[in-house]
């Protein structure tokens, strides 16, 4: 058989190629190894659709009713809020940059019915399909372009948003916030309505 | 320069490795971008939801179906809203367990004093089952140790039924969620977000096979 590289001596053999790939044994690449990060990576892994850990987040900012309107700037923060429906409150999210994580943590129960408005920064939006439980119990979902989320409490003690409730905002694509939530579900927490909109 | 493959004509060159044969699979992996951070944060690469076998799925992007009033609802992929309240039995038929499918039961209201069961059946004709070793928090009637775990069968025959018996003040409160998701053909993973307050005292999950 004639040499297939006749006239082209600048080839690289498979053996050479594999030698360059020694740092990555493809046969060992498994999702389990990569996402469990056994003893290799200590940074927080942020998986787009899952609630991030609170590990390493700062509690440097607050979003209390008395300070409305509140414009958040930190992108790695737990933000405590005493919002309880006593006064209309506006919270402006920081710019959605990759890996940004903001967790809004409520420190008291809702007893009145003034609204909480959460705005994306200019030109940004919530990922279409973001899903939250709402009054009823039913669910609300964002659509493309939605950049505002309004929560209207019911003025009772059965609100979905109450002490310990968390709203998670996570960015994996610049300009787009993904959301997740942790509600304190008791037998009757069924009131308080979320609405996504575009302004 | 003498040919470095003189006497060894059975080589494959780089072009062949990346363009043909068994190594074509390498084309789908941009090795220069393959690292833990990229794969787990998915920056700019993938906005589909991630589904892991041992992590509850996200609700993001799931379609919503309301089964109010149905005594034998056929659940479909997505969020399934149920008005089960314990006054009458409900027999839920889960869809076929295919990889990537997420089915969520959303409890629309609290369970009352009825005591009738809410039952989830896998698609038995397809041989589906609940993942062995599934553990669900359950509240038994026994006062000595009311909080227990209900576990699916660890060996064959695997569990195919999941029953919930609730009366007033049960863990299946308004807004409670039961997640079913599939990462292996025919096998449902199960987890839940239940009510928890000082007055929640009942709610028994039971796995069985029949």
Any idea where the domains of chain A sit in the sequence? Answer: 48-197
Per-residue pLDDT of A7-65, as tens digits, reads 555 554 444 444 444 444 555 555 555 554 443 444 555 666 678 888 888 988 999 99
Per-residue pLDDT of B124-160, as tens digits, reads 999 999 999 999 988 876 555 567 789 999 999 999 9
- Give the best residue of A185, A189, A190, A196 to mutate against chain B (max B CB count within 10 A): A185
Residues 70-109 of B with CB under 8 A from A: 79, 81, 106-109
Question: Left (φ > 0), alpha (ψ -120 to 50) or beta: where does B83 sit?
Answer: alpha
Q: Please answer yes or no on whether A48 and B49 come within 8 Å at the CB atom.
A: yes
Tokens of B16: 């062949």
Annotate B172-208 with DSSP letters as a single string: S-TT-EEEEEEEETTEEEEEEE---STT--BBEEEEE
B20 at interface of A, judged by CB pairs closer than 8 A: no
Q: Which among A96, A48, A49, A106 has a CA at the least distance from the CA of A76?
A: A96
Give the gap in angstroms from C-alpha B144 to the nearest C-alpha of chain A: 23
Of the candidates A11, A21, A190, the beta carbon closest to that of B175 is on A190
Strand segments (E) across B70-174 = 78-82, 90-93, 102-107, 117-121, 129-130, 135-139, 147-151, 161-165
The rounded distance, in Å, linking the Cα atoms of A189 and A127 is: 26
Tokens of A156: 């009772």
Residues 126-165 of A with CB under 8 A from B: 127-133, 136-139, 141, 160
Residue in A with minimal Cα distance to B35: A34
**Any idea which residue has 């062949």 for tokens?**
B16
Instruction: Return the C-alpha torsion angle B11, B12, B13, B16, nearest 10.
Output: 170
Q: Please answer yes or no on whether B47 and A48 come within 8 Å at the CB atom.
A: yes
Burial B117-136 (b: 16+ CB within 10 A, else e): bbbbbbbeeeebbbbeebeb
pLDDT of residue B31: 54
**β pairing state of B161-165 and B204-208:** antiparallel
Of the candidates A11, A24, A40, the beta carbon closest to that of B13 is on A11
The ranges of chain B with pLDDT < 50 are 11-29, 42-47
pLDDT of residue A71: 97
Residue in A with minimal Cα distance to B7: A3
**What is the Cβ-side half-sphere exposure of residue B123, based on CA atoms within 13 angstroms?**
15
Q: Which residues of A touch B41 (CB under 8 A)?
A: 45-48, 98-99, 172
Residues 190-209 of B with CB under 8 A from A: 193-197, 199-200
Give the number of other CB atoms < 10 A from CB of residue B12: 16
Give the gap in angstroms from C-alpha B210 to the nearest C-alpha of chain A: 31
Chain A to chain B Cβ contacts (< 8 Å): 170
- Give the best residue of B67, B104, B174 to mutate against chain A (max A CB count within 10 A): B174
- CA angle at A159 for the pair B163 and A195, rounded to the nearest 5°: 100
- CB-based contact A49:A165 (threshold 8 Å): no
Residues 6+ away with beta carbon under 8 Å from B127: B186
The rounded distance, in Å, linking the Cα atoms of A72 and A80 is: 12
Question: What is the pLDDT tens value at each position of chain A, 199 positions in all?
Answer: 555 555 555 554 444 444 444 444 555 555 555 554 443 444 555 666 678 888 888 988 999 999 999 999 999 999 999 999 999 999 999 999 988 999 999 998 877 999 999 999 999 999 999 999 998 888 999 999 999 999 999 988 888 898 889 999 999 889 999 999 998 777 777 789 999 999 9
Look up the ipTM and state it: 0.74
Residues 6+ away with beta carbon under 8 Å from A162: A106, A108, A109, A110, A184, A189
Tokens of B20: 């043909």
Give the gap in angstroms from C-alpha A4 to the nearest C-alpha of chain B: 8
Of the candidates B1, B108, B195, the beta carbon closest to that of A186 is on B195
3-state secondary structure of B63: coil
Q: Which residues of A touch B55 (CB under 8 A)?
A: 50
Give the gap in angstroms from C-alpha B134 to the nearest C-alpha of chain A: 19
**β pairing state of B187-193 and B129-130:** parallel
């Amino acid at each position: 058989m004639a040499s297939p590289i006749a006239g082209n001596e600048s080839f690289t053999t498979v053996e050479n190629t594999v030698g360059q790939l020694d740092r990555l044994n493809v046969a060992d690449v498994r999702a389990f190894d990569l996402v469990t990060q056994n003893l290799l990576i200590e940074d927080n892994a942020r998986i787009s659709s899952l609630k991030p850990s609170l590990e390493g987040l700062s509690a440097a900012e607050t979003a209390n009713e008395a300070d409305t309107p509140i414009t958040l700037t930190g992108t790695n923060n737990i933000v405590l809020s005493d919002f309880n429906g006593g006064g209309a409150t506006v919270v402006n999210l920081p710019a959605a940059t990759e890996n940004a994580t903001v967790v809004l943590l409520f420190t008291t129960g809702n007893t009145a019915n003034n609204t909480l408005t959460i705005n994306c920064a200019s030109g940004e939006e919530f990922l279409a399909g973001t899903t939250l439980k709402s009054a009823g119990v039913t669910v609300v979902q964002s659509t493309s372009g939605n950049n505002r989320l309004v929560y209207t409490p019911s003025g009772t003690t059965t609100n979905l948003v109450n002490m310990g409730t968390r709203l998670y905002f996570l960015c994996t694509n610049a300009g787009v916030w993904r959301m997740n939530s942790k509600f304190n579900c008791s037998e009757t927490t069924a009131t308080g309505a979320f609405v996504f909109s575009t302004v | 320069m003498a040919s470095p493959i003189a006497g060894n004509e059975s080589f494959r060159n780089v072009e062949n490795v990346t363009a043909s044969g068994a190594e074509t699979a390498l084309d789908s992996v941009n090795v220069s971008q393959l690292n833990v951070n990229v794969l787990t944060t998915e920056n700019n690469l993938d906005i589909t939801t991630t589904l892991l076998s041992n992590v509850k799925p996200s609700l993001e992007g799931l379609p919503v179906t309301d089964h109010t009033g149905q005594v034998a609802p056929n659940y479909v992929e997505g969020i399934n809203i149920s008005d089960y309240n314990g006054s009458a039995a409900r027999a839920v038929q889960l869809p076929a367990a295919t990889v990537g499918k997420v089915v969520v039961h959303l409890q629309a209201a609290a369970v009352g004093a009825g005591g009738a069961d809410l039952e989830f059946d896998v698609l038995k004709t397809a041989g589906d089952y609940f993942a062995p070793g599934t553990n669900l928090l359950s509240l038994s009637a026994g006062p000595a140790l009311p909080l227990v775990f209900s576990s699916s069968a660890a060996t064959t025959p695997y569990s195919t039924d999941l029953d919930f018996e609730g009366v007033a003040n049960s863990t299946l409160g308004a807004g409670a969620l039961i997640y079913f998701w599939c990462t292996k053909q025919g096998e449902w993973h199960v987890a839940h977000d239940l009510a928890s307050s000082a007055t929640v005292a009942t709610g028994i999950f039971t796995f069985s096979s029949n």
